[in-house]
Structure 1
């Protein structure tokens, strides 16, 4: 990941322009919200019913399904390469450092894909399914909806190295976060709004131990509460989890930003969005004050991310099984 010398070297105008270039360039123009209107009219109700069922069984699953979408799009575009299993001759992304023992929800995607192969076989890509699943997950958890652009095809290749290099670790500082999003054609507003997805979901102790024991930019009472489930010694309780938004980790709302203003961000990278640098502090304040504004900007940011390097036309394939390429 390319590091930036200083956030002062970036202007909001440059970052905003990056979003405009993304939206008007590349193959994203071939995507359409009505892509399956005739070929698979049962698509949306079929997907949503299974997502609702999965979240009703385990509320955390909505955040996990949303995370699958993020972790795919930031690695060579939204092509569902992160759904592919390893084989004796194929190394996928599931065991990359940011994904191993972390990504989950693959069985739900499998169930949805199987259902789609019943109602419209060979029509809907795994790439499009995950885009719809992420939207439905947010809506079911109380967040905003948006029109999902469709027409993506599925990757036949993958890159564990790209997953290791392109997914921001929880230790990133603000410079690195801005650089990462800019390198993917996303703007400052996309960065802060998309990190608002951390209003749902869980993080493992191994990813926030250093913050709650060693950092000063943290509310002491909050740190003490988090320490009760995350021992200070590495190797003890590494996989214990706590909510990224400790107030409402299964409700999609704006309390994540309220927490940041109180120095109660669980991950180091979370709190970097409100650290006195100025670039992101004002957006955090805006979203903390207005949930409607956060919801609007989050929906726009998800559409922007969904436009990242989609495979369209004759590129890629429509996988019959999301875990493997068709010729396996």
Structure 2
């Protein structure tokens, strides 16, 4: 029996991740584990990369892993409630997509060459959507090995899409670090930690409806795919990022998220025969509202 197959009390399955999250936020709030960001000008390139790796772990990988701790609890839910969690995931992804659109328009406008930004954005967006769709079609035509269903496949796609989105968070962190803005950096990390903890359930909701529990290595890989790009984004953000490069990043992320939302809807349709129910609509709206609260109110409004 694996760690994910043990059967602790349901209340602990539901509350445990919240306690871990509170401990992580409290540790970051009371301490400064990132070193002296103000001394970045005198640091070597290796020291800068290491510092941004540590910061990216706290802001990206750690919250996703904490969110994944809800997997055993989600597994105990009835099928229609699992579908509701998937709809919640789709709402979260939809909000992320809307946010990316706003960012994308800003970067496209910053590209000096006429129509170059628009063209690059369209090619990157459509190309990513079609490429991921082709992978999905191929996957559905392939016999599932190891006894795991399409849920694991969708979970990986969700992790990749969220990882592309997280590049933008890393860019913000890297820029704050390069400018030596230690207070802003700490607030960004805490804000993104709270924000990104929702990505864990978003990823593993698709796996929860499969009959078999995948080996724990899959959860580790998906956590790195979804949150590890905050580290990569931090490295890039500590340098000078052109509007054209940022346009490519965000357009790719938008195309990936659009395709994954369709995957999630198809997963629910295959299980239940239809996607739109009152409960699914309610949790979809809840996902959008939750992300609005965490992003626009908490991160942008209160913390910053």
With the shorter chain as reference, the TM-score category is under 0.3
- How does the TM-score come out when normalised to structure 2? 0.27
- Structure with the larger RCO, 1 or 2 (CA within 8 Å, 6+ apart): 2
More helix, by proportion: 2
| TM-score with structure 1 setting the length | 0.26
